[in-house]
Structure 1
Amino acid sequence: MAWENQSFNSEFILLGIFDHSPTHIFLFCLVLGIFTVAFMGNTVMVLLIYLDTQLHIPMYLFLSQLSLMDLMLICTTVPKMAFNYLSGRKSISLAGCGTQIFLYVSLLGSECFLLAAMAYDRYIAICHPLRYSVLMSQKICCLMAVPSWIIGLLDGVIVIAVALSFPYCGAREIPHFFCDVPALLTLSCTNTLLFERLMFICCVIMLLFPVAVIIASYTHVILAVIRMRSGEGRSRAFATCSSHLMVVGMYYGAAMFIYMRPVSDRSPTEDRMVSAFYTILTPMLNPLIYSLRNKEVFRAFIKVLRKGKSGEKIA
């Protein structure tokens, strides 16, 4: 690696997203509120699905993994941003910057493939309900969830290894509230065009391939729902599918906007706003859209509360 102008003790400056004007103080408090809701919502989802054995089915096991990823994602960026804002310090070490890059790239990549697995799960549940227990057993569920984590981690390793191989110089001011790779590349002293092309290829694999799986799955699902004779069954299926598609549209749309454009065409303000959307807002929306309004999850929540008060074992 080219460390002649940098070391793990060197620092970058995160310019952040807020100043101390009344409007920005209000927005900062709003972000803290969103973080609190996201943290609590995703933590509750993970714990409920772990504690209630009746939720140990593929659909909810996938949801628990999604909540865990969202929980880790929002904790990767917001606490450091809040600490810098409240303390007045804007610095982040090279090691801290590398850690942020590795975690959020890995989590974003993992979530991309997990959402595709969840779409396939809904396809099997709606189009092949009688064979669901065979086609989506817990073993198959694990064989789909674990590779999602592995692929994301490999993507994170590749990106961080290449990103930290560049020398960074000048003011070393990152026009962002966390160490985002495209923002970091603008500080490089060398040509990063080859790496930008590598990132584009990775994005095609990590974003477009899962999107293709999701589109294929939901095309079959929608056709099957339209053919349903039961009005109640049709409305339930549409509610489940629409919530999933809402999350998918927000998540993939924002990620494509950030990572499938050349660095030269970027606007720091636009990138900060869109990044805030998928790293802060989406982790809050996922448990609300997917799970906490779900009857089975609500039932499990009430049961856990009652069992907790009585001291009985949850089953």
Structure 2
Amino acid sequence: MIANSSDTNLKNIEIAGKLWNKLWENYSARVSYAGIYQQMILEAGGTIANDHIAFRSLRLNVETPQGKKNLGIEYIEQIAEALGYFVAGELSFPDQKLYARHYRHPQQEQFDLPKLFISELIVEELPADIAQLIEQTVTTDLAIATQSIASLMNTADTEHIADQLQKIFTRPWQPPLRSTVETVNKITQYGAWVLLHGYAVNHFTGYINRHNTQQYPDIESTARGLAERGVPMKAEIEGNRSTGLRQTATQAITENVPVRDDITKELITIPWTYAYYEIAERNLIEIAPGQTALFEAFLGPNAQNLFEMTRIADEGVEK
């Protein structure tokens, strides 16, 4: 019996829900600020909702046993599209050599599905020596998914599918050399971050509009509430009501991440940023004379400043 499109759609929505929950569990265990936010909103009688999930990647074609693979947006996009998401817009950041697409699900509101924001570093636009370091690192014992997403999605067990998809959101190459991370970081902090964390979630985003609590009606009161609970916050709020999107974030947490010693090649750890927790407030914008709609896209200047939340200064790296 062949499943009809409605059955397939509901199955994919179920998989998406399970996958995002699994990624949230891992992320929130590492980013304690996310838990503080949730506790704060729930104690105020509010509702928790996720506006979007962000991922980072490298636009770089590499040879694999399965042929050439692009490790950039294309690699994660195949999962998004298999789950029913579609490209809703794009942004370019030429100064940072970055490009991004954002995705929505056609039944986003009905099933409370987050938007996705997937960015990539355009490796070929970097200085040749830095691009070479990045390529050498990611092709060292590269272990990307060998089973096609399409064949995986055709299996029956949604829990198994979500488990297998979750494995993709890790670092599929060996830990980089310490000197590589530090050298790449001088040119692109984004690139150094991806070498260390791969496809791990960069951030989840609390959705202010869904709080439904008088205590935290807007982004200012929410950011202030987090700061009062000892959460280090970004000093500024990006965007304004007229642009349709206002965003801010906690500072990124720092973890001891594995790297390889340049001399012994043994694993050691160094402190480096992982992720932050973002909060976003969406506003109505005029789409035609006398007609307004909620802004559902993203803004380049906002995103560009938020990319910098994972920056780590060279002098901040312990020797």
Name the TM-score, length of structure 1 as normaliser. 0.28
Larger radius of gyration: 1
**Greater RCO (CA < 8 Å, at least 6 residues apart):** 1
TM-score between both structures, scaled by the size of structure 2: 0.28
Which structure has greater strand proportion?
A: 2
